[in-house]
Amino acid sequence: MRILIVGSGGREHALAWKLAQSPHITRLFVAPGNGGTARVAENVDIADADLPALVAFTLRKKIDLVVAGPELPLVLGLADALAQEGIPCFGPDAFAAQLEGSKAFAKTVMRAAGVPTADFMVFDDHLQARAHVLERPMPCVIKADGLAAGKGVVVCKTREEALETLDEMMLRDVFGAAGERVVIEDALVGEEASFLAFCDGTSFALMPSSQDHKAALDGDLGPNTGGMGAYSPAPVLPEADCAAMGDLVIRPILDYMAASGHPFVGILYAGLMFTPAGPRVLEYNVRFGDPECQPLLMRLDGDLLEIMLACTRGTLAQTPVRWKPQSALCVVMAAGGYPKSYPKGMEITGIDRAEAETGVTVFQAGTRAQDGRTLCSGGRVLGVTALGDTLAQARDAAYKGVELIHFDPCHYRRDIGSKGLGRR
Ligand code: AMP
Ligand code: GLY
């Protein structure tokens, strides 16, 4: 079979690495890909949001399945455009992708489907939003409705901060059209975890729990990033609790989407917070998390292509989805300065040595291959990922790999997995 993966991050390298192991694959393409995907697949120079070019390539190369890595092409309607040509897409249609593309849509669906989430109100009018902030207790959380590259959520401790945030989003258009509508919700406190499921429109197969590290610096300090590391399982959501959690936060959404005439196909990702009053869904994503994908796929025991095809064919209930009992942990090595400004073009050395000597798998994110060398081309550069019999062993193995890899300036967190280890 001929497969096209859309995207260019560490997640997409992990997807390509895992799909390349399937005996059913004859050609594997990644658009646009990176230095790592070039090692296991053929990179195609098409941007992830260029739907016409993606569809044309898919027809020209007689692609059997398109796998969407990031949310943007799905929110723009990639699955719908492919469906018009009769090509299956692993990822939801544009209507269902609003679960990630519109915070107001997601919250309204959660309320209608009975999923526990922070109490909220939606505002299109700046003066009404101000009036609400002036009368409600603080803290609160203000979310730009649309996609804002992970930056559209502000936890406001004071009324002044909340009013300033409303001005930025609704008057000064800091997030463009994404901020014309806002969700204002109660601020919750608790540990977070990521909970993902493969979905075929009516049934789902749960993945083990995982946890991301969004802050740039150790101890969850510093600015938020796309994710500085991840591990699975996350002890805050043990295996024994997963089935009930699936019934609480995955099944009602699948039922709601199916009843709306848009059965959800692909990955439904619930961002959970474990509050003293019980678990709450902070957000849904409609794709693998990056970097959660890297440890999760290291643990997936079996053929990812067979699972993805079953999702597009509605046969997931008859398809085995098995996981290795070990823990997996991914340390992101970023360019110094990330998530603010950072240099590019530095040469990366030691990847092959780290893989050979420590058994880690190095998923590349912001890299490009040039003349046999691997160069930095983005903020998050590598995801050094290891399996271990325990979380501590996976962590130790991943950091051994990190020590053998070099580029300058480089920054990584030294405490990936510490919350999970602290719970043991
Ligand atoms: P979201 O994109 O909705 O997941 O928000 C990004 C991050 O903002 C989450 O991972 C949380 O750390 C934080 N967050 C979102 N909603 C809330 C909330 N209601 N209370 C506290 N923190 C929140
Ligand atoms: N790691 C969080 C996300 O992919 O949204």
Look over the chain and give the mean of its residue pLDDT values, rounded to a whole number: 96
CB 417, CB 395: distance < 8 Å:
yes
**331 plus 314 within the same structural domain:** no
Instruction: Report how far ligand 1's centroid is from the alpha carbon of 153 (Å).
Output: 7
Tokens standing for residue 54? 């993606």
Residue 263, pLDDT score: 98
396-418 pLDDT, tens digit each = 999 999 999 999 999 999 999 99
Q: How confident is the model at residue 174 (pLDDT cuts 50, 70, 90)?
A: confident
Q: Which pLDDT band holds residue 200 (cuts at 50, 70, 90)?
A: very high
3-state secondary structure of 9: coil
How many domains does the chain divide into?
A: 4
For residue 171, the CA-to-ligand 2 centroid distance in Å is: 28
348 domain residue, yes or no:
yes
Nearest CA to ligand 2 atom 3: 289
Q: What is the CATH number of the domain that holds 340?
A: 3.90.600.10
The closest ligand to the CA of 293 turns out to be 2
Ligand 2 pocket test, pick from 269, 283, 331 with the greatest ligand atom count within 8 Å of Cβ, gives 269
Residue 162's pLDDT band (cuts 50, 70, 90) = very high
pLDDT at 177: 81
CB of 200 closer than 6 angstroms to any ligand 2 atom: no
318, 351, 368: which is the final residue of a domain? 318
- Nearest CA, atom 9, ligand 1: 282
Q: Choose the weakest-confidence range: 32-36, 91-95, 224-228.
A: 224-228
For residues 86 and 196, membership in a common domain is answered with no
C-beta 292 within 6 A of ligand 2: yes
Is residue 246 lining ligand 2, measured as CB closer than 6 Å? no
Q: State whether 304 and 351 are in the same domain.
A: no
How far apart (Å, rounded) are the C-alpha atoms in residues 220 and 178? 27
pLDDT one-digit tens code per residue, 319-352: 999 999 999 999 999 999 999 999 999 999 999 9
Same domain for 279 and 331, yes or no, is no
Per-residue pLDDT tens over the stretch 41-81:
999 999 999 999 999 999 999 999 999 999 999 999 999 99
Nearest Cα residue to atom 4 of ligand 2 = 289
Residue 265, pLDDT > 80, answer yes
- Which residue, 47, 75, 96, sits at the end of a domain? 96
- Residue 310: inside a domain: yes
Each residue's pLDDT tens digit, 356-392: 999 999 999 999 999 999 999 999 999 999 999 999 9
> What percent of the chain is predicted at pLDDT more than 70?
100
Pocket residues for ligand 1 (CB within 6 Å)? 118, 141, 143, 153, 155, 185, 187-188, 192, 271, 282-283
Residues 246 and 275 in one domain: yes
Q: Which of 301, 318, 335 is the last residue of a domain?
A: 318
Which ligand places an atom closest to the C-alpha of 365? 2
Summarised one tens digit per residue, pLDDT across range 276-298 is 999 999 999 999 999 999 999 99
Closest ligand 2 atom, residue 287 Cα: 4
Flag whether 118 is in a domain.
no
* pLDDT value at residue 172: 87
Judgement on whether residues 303 and 195 belong to the same structural domain of the protein: yes
Q: Is the pLDDT of residue 300 over 60?
A: yes
pLDDT score at 424: 52
Co-location of 204 and 239 in the same domain: yes
Q: What pTM was estimated for this model as a whole?
A: 0.96
Cα–ligand 1 centroid distance for 259 (angstroms): 28
pLDDT range class, residue 178, cuts 50, 70, 90: confident
What's the pLDDT score for residue 176?
79
Phi/psi for 179 (5° steps) reads -100, 5
Rounded Cα distance between 18 and 297, Å, is 7
In sequence order, what DSSP letters do the residues of 67-88 get, joined into one string? EE-SHHHHHHTHHHHHHHTT--
Are both 353 and 294 inside the same structural domain? no
User: What pLDDT is attached to residue 175?
Assistant: 81
Q: Give the ligand whose atoms come closest to the C-alpha of residue 228.
A: 2
- At 179, is the pLDDT very low, low, confident or very high (cuts 50, 70, 90)? confident
In 307-406, the DSSP E strands lie at 322-323, 327-335, 347-348, 361-364, 367-370, 373-376, 380-388
185 within domain boundaries: no
Q: In this structure, what CATH number is given to the domain that contains residue 293?
A: 3.30.470.20
Task: Calculate how far, in angstroms, residue 272's C-alpha sits from the geometric centre of ligand 2.
Answer: 12
Q: Is residue 305 part of a domain?
A: yes
Q: Is residue 70 a part of any domain in this protein?
A: yes
Where do the DSSP E strands lie in 207-360?
211-212, 215-217, 221-224, 229-232, 264-275, 278-285, 300-301, 322-323, 327-335, 347-348
Q: Is a pLDDT exceeding 60 seen at residue 183?
A: yes
- Which has the higher per-residue pLDDT, 175 or 210? 210
Pick the atom of ligand 2 nearest to 288's CA. 4
Residue nearest ligand 1's atom 7 by CA:
153
Do residues 389 and 300 both lie within one domain?
Answer: no
Give yes or no for residue 227 CB within 6 A of ligand 2. Answer: yes
Q: Give the ligand at the shortest distance from the Cα of 117.
A: 1
Q: In this structure, are residues 304 and 18 in contact, taking their beta carbons and an 8 Å threshold?
A: yes
Ligand 2 midpoint to CA 348 (Å)? 25
d(CA 417, CA 395): 7
Residue 106 lies in a domain: no
What domain range includes position 280? 191-318
Ligand nearest to the CA of 186: 1
